Amino acid sequence: MISIIQEEFKKRFGEGATCYASPGRVNLIGDHTDYNLGFVLPGAIDKAIYVAIRPTEGPVSRLYSVDYKELLEIDMNGALPDKLWARFIYGVVQEMKKRGATVGAFECVFGGDVPLGAGLSSSAALESVFGYALNDLFGLGFSRADLARIGQMTEHNYVGVKCGIMDEFASLFGQKGKVIRLDCRSLEYELVSFEPVGCRVMLIDSMVKHSLASSEYNVRREQCEAGVAVVAKHVQGVESLRDVTMDMLDTYKSEMEPIVYRRCAYVIHENQRLLEGCEFLKKGDYKAFGQKMFGSHEGLSREYEVSCEELDFIEEIARETPGMLGARMMGGGFGGCVIHLVEEKVHDAYLEEVKSRFQARFGQTPRVIDVVIGDGARKLI
**Helices 122-137/166-173 angle, 10° precision:** 50
> CB of 369 within 8 A of CB of 337?
yes
> CB of 202 within 8 A of CB of 369?
yes
| Distance of alpha carbon 235 from alpha carbon 287, whole angstroms | 38
> CB of 63 within 8 A of CB of 75?
no
- Whether 167 is a known active-site residue: answer yes
Sheet of 70-75, strand order: 70-75, 60-65, 106-112, 42-55, 18-27, 378-379
| Distance of alpha carbon 120 from alpha carbon 60, whole angstroms | 31
Torsion sign (Cα): 208, 213, 219, 222: positive
Q: Which of the residues 167, 205, 312, 375 is marked catalytic?
A: 167
| Distance of alpha carbon 122 from alpha carbon 115, whole angstroms | 7
User: Within 13 A of 142's CA, how many CA atoms are on the CB side?
Assistant: 31
- CA neighbor of 277 nearest in space, from 328, 222, 212: 328
Locate the DSSP E strands across the chain: 18-27, 39-40, 42-55, 60-65, 70-75, 106-112, 178-183, 189-193, 199-205, 324-330, 337-343, 367-371, 378-379
Active site members: 167
